[in-house]
Each structure stands twice: as structure tokens, then as C-alpha cells.
Chain A
Amino acid sequence: MTDLAAPAALPKPRRDLLPVLLPVILALAMLPLIGSASSWVTLTVASLAMGMMIFIMASGLTLVFGLMDVLNFGHGAFISVGAYAATLVLLPLAPYVQADSLWLNLAVLAPAAVLSMAVSGALGLVVERVLILPVYGQHLKQILMTTGGLIVAEQALYALWGPQIIPLPLPTSLRGSFIIGDIAIAKYRLLAMLVGLIVFLGIQLVLNRTKIGLLIRAGVENREMVEALGYRIRRLFLGVFMVGSALAGLGGIMWALYREQVHASMGNDLTVLVFIVVIIGGLGSIGGCFIGALLVAMVANYGGFLVPKLALVSNILLMVVVLLWRPRGLYTVSGR
């Protein structure tokens, strides 16, 4: 039978659902080990919230690597800068942050988040033009340039804001927990989950329902052919880099509020974690990045509760196990 007389339908490609089920399996497996249902819910919600925040920070990095083949070790700088930018709004408007009104709190948080994203996105523009552009296709130089950029950014933050840790209290209405029976669910964690989910769905929507998304997916697989079809992929690179940086900035303000403090090395501290998530998920895969972030957070929270000493190495162990199982990460993007 030739291809011209092909059968009426191709066999449906098997959906690879195992990675999607992993967080569910892991959570259920932990229930008997943890023993208490309320502790399990608290840890699971904490994991989901932390995972969503890590996903927000890591999603840009995985797209940047997938599409542009750029190893950006300076991604953490966008996280720190985003967090510091937020203090420009949140600290002067502290009375609104401390007001006992959800709407007043949100009225301050929203512009702070927008400013964080704008500043990190603008920094992304500068970094791409100044540091990345001269070293496209040269991984070693990319590592050197972006690591250098991270150090410069960190020192610049110290120079501008000083070496002290800046306290960043949570808005009043986001403090405390919802109590359901003997289960306590922190309000801010719910907000973090909601924002993470919105970012994930938004990225999926853009990637799967728009021509820009088609271009990004095609570019991740074969940049050269996208150019041969007449698209200037360099502009797309720049756009994705800026969006990735802006998302890192958003992750920065969320993480700072989660920890209730801002310091210049926070981005640097998170860089390893973010890279682990990107590697576990599969370079360039947004879905893999999402699951990887949840897994990393779950292992950190459950591991920290059950075997506190294990918490120090839990992420590395997780990465080793995942890569032994799937050497190219949970989801492989064609062409990578």
C-alpha cells in the first residue's frame, strides 16, 4: 500500500500520561507515610503553591532554552530585580498593604506585579541585546556571559539598596489561613496556586491557539525552517526572552511575598532549583516544566517533613531518578 492510498486514519499516538500522573501518585503515596490527613493536606497545598511559583520562574527559562538554545545562567537576576522592583511600590504604599481590605491590598499588589514584570522584561531586552546576541550558538560563552551578568546584577542591587535584607510583609488580607475542620490552608498559597495556574493556562493558550504560539513551537523544533518560511525568528527570540524575563520577575515578587523578604542573592539561590525543574521537565517543554516544578516542590515538602536531613539533597536526588528513567526529561521536545 502506498502513501497515496493510505489508510483512513493514522493510529493515534499514545498519550504519555505517566508524567502527568506522577504528582498524583506521589501525593497519594505520601498519605499513609505522613499519617495525619490535616498535615498531608497542608503539605500538599504548600507543595502546589511552591511548585506554581517555581513554575512561573522556570517557564521562561525553558522556552528560552528550547527556542533559542541559550543557556541563561543569569535568569536568577530577573527574579531578584523583579522582587526589588516590587518594593518600589509596596514599601512606599505600606499603609495600603497593611489595610484590612482585600481590594486595597490588591490595588497595590497589582501595580507592583506589573512593575516587576515590566522592569524584568526591560532588563531582559538589554541582556538579550548586550550579552546574548554576541554569543548565540556558543554555549560556553553563554554560561560565562550570563553568569557574569548575574553577578553584576546582584552587586548592582547591593549597591542600590544596600546589603540588608528588606522585609516585605504580606498584605493583611492574604495573611492567615482558611480553616476547614482541622485543616489549615494558607490564603497566600491559594493565591500563588491561582496565579501559577493562570500563567500555565495562558502559556498553553498562546502556544496552542495562536500563530505566535505555532511559531514558537515550530522554532523550538527547527529554527532554520521557520526562517526559510519567511519569519524573522530573531524578533521572536527577543519577544520570548522578554516574556520569560517578565515571568521571572513575577515569580520574584511572589517568592519575596512568600518568604516576606527581599535580598539580592535570592535569584542566585533559586537558579539551581529552576534549572533542575527545566532539566527534569525536558528542555523546551512547558508541560514538563509544570510537572517538574510540582515534583520538586512535593519532594522538598514531603521530604522535609518525613526525613528533614534529606531535604538538602532531595532535588538533586529527584533529578537523578528522573534522568535515569528518562534521560531527556519527562517530556522530550522534537528537535531537542
Chain B
Amino acid sequence: MTDLLTLAGVHTHIGRYHILHGVDFAVPEGQTTMLLGRNGAGKTTTLRTIMGLWQASSGRILLDGQAIEHSATPDIARLGVGYVPESMAVFSDLTVKENLVLAARDGPLDDSRLEWIFGFFPALRRFWLSRAGSLSGGQKQMLSIARAIVEPRKLLLIDEPTKGLAPAIVVALIECFAEVKRRGATILLVEQNFHAARELGDKVLVMDNGLIVHRGEMAALATDVTLQERLLGLSLETHQ
């Protein structure tokens, strides 16, 4: 299996703060890789650095063999990378429809793909012409994810999508991500919800202090409580 995304010795500074201290990992094509770690470990910075929202100070980032560490964010997105930020960042003044029209960069909205998305997130159909700012937190998250998958993408970078959401919505998100993966997308997912991580993850990376401190199979970490406690400071079962 080839690696779609590779990071080698990536350092990132934000102002005078040195956040990533030489991050190395690879994300295999067609799989879901979970990026875990305590708060402040550098997970969000890693995603933002890949997306070009913060420039890597040094190191290499390869997407499908192409170096992107000096590329601008729009160019990275145009290589087939979808991004769902932790803040969701839906455009509040735009309607649900307008948010998705904007996300469909390559042309008009594809009706069959929309129906597929509505299958996971029926609320989006119902609130099609409502302002995104008037949606609930869960609905905004659905919209943020729908925006990332409204056109096929090679790689999805998703930052803590289940944070603060009701269990029923988390189930819908898990189903959605699983289906997106079945359709061939590669996913790098920052997640703190153990149930979601175990359900979705093929591979797992654990970060601490701006470094990858563990890499392996998600299934292996999910069953090894001692390893969880050593890496994450707590058992994943206790961190729902």
C-alpha cells in the first residue's frame, strides 16, 4: 500500500513559539489514520501545517509524491485536500446551499452526491435555505463535513469532528466517514472520542509535545490499556 501523505522532520513555529519539533509520519492511501494526543500536543497545528495555513519552518510534506510544504493553501486544496477545522468555520451569513455551492469548486452541485450526503445528514436538506449561522452546533458540524465531501477529495483532514456533539450525531458522522473511506478517500482524523476512534481508525499516531511518540495499528492501541495510559495519560475508555 502506498502512502498518500508523508511528513518528514516538519517543524512549525507560530510567532516565537516552536510547536512542531520534527514531525514524521505517513498516511497510507485509502485508510483512516487517527491522530491522537493530549490537548496542546500539536495535532491541530499538524493539520494546519499540512493545509498550508501555517507554514512549516523546515521539513518536507509530500502529497502523492509532490512537495507541498511551500505551497499556498488554495493550491493544496486544489490537489484534492478537504479540510474540516475544529471551529467548523461555516459561513454564518450564507445559507446551507450557498456554503455547499462555494465548496463545489469544480462546477455545479452534483445532485446524486447531494442525495448521498443528505442520507447521512437529513437536517441539511431540511435547512437548505436557512442561514448557516442559525443552525445548531451539530448541524454546523454536518455542514462543515458536507462542505469537505461535496466533491470527491483524495485526502480529508478532519479536526475533532465529534467534539461536544450528541451521540446520535456522532453515529451519523462515523457512518459518513466510513462510507467516504469506502469510496476511496484517505482520512487523517484528529479525534478524542474513543468510540469514534476505534470504529474508524485503521492506523493510529499519537503526538506529544510536537512529536509523534507512537505509531501503529488502531486495533492494537484500542486493546492495550497500559499503552493508552502511557501515551495519553488515561485509558481511552474513560475519555468518551
Contact = CB atoms under 8 A, between A and B. Distances in A.
Contacts of A233: 74
Contact of B98 (A3, A5, A214): A214
Given A10-B127, A228-B77, A229-B103, A4 B134 contact: no
Interface in B133-150: 133-136, 138-139, 142, 147
B123 interface: yes
Given A3-B142, A4-B168, A221-B91, A228 B123 contact: no
B83 interface: yes
B169 A4 contact: yes
Q: How large is the interface on A (under 10, 10 to 19, 20 to 34, 35 or more residues)?
A: 20 to 34
A3 B89 contact: no
A13 interface: yes
Contact of B94 (A11, A218, A228): A218
B67 interface: no
Contacts of A2: 138, 166, 168-169
A224 interface: yes
A262 to B, nearest CB: 39
Contacts of A103: none
Contacts of B74: 227, 230-233
Contacts of A75: none
B66 to A, nearest CB: 16
A215 B169 contact: no
Given A13-B131, A214-B98, A229-B103, A3 B169 contact: yes
A228 to B, nearest CB: 5
Contact of B92 (A227, A231, A334): A334
Interface residues of B, number: 38
A225 B143 CA distance: 13
Nearest to A3: B138
Interface residue SS majority, chain B:
helix
Contact of A215 (B73, B93, B102): B102
A44 to B, nearest CB: 32
A222 interface: yes
Interface string A225-266: 111111111000000000000000000000000000000000
B72 interface: yes
A6 B140 CA distance: 13
B16 interface: no
B18 interface: no
A334 B133 contact: yes
Nearest to B101: A214
Interface in B117-173: 121-123, 126-127, 130-131, 133-136, 138-139, 142, 147, 166, 168-169, 172
A335 interface: yes
B136 A3 contact: yes
A224 B83 CA distance: 11
Nearest to A229: B103
B166 A228 contact: no
A80 to B, nearest CB: 34
A335 B93 CA distance: 9
5 contacts: A10-B130, A11-B134, A13-B134, A224-B53, A228-B53
Given A218-B102, A233-B74, 12 more contacts: A2-B166, A4-B172, A9-B126, A217-B94, A218-B94, A220-B93, A221-B94, A222-B89, A227-B74, A228-B83, A230-B78, A232-B74
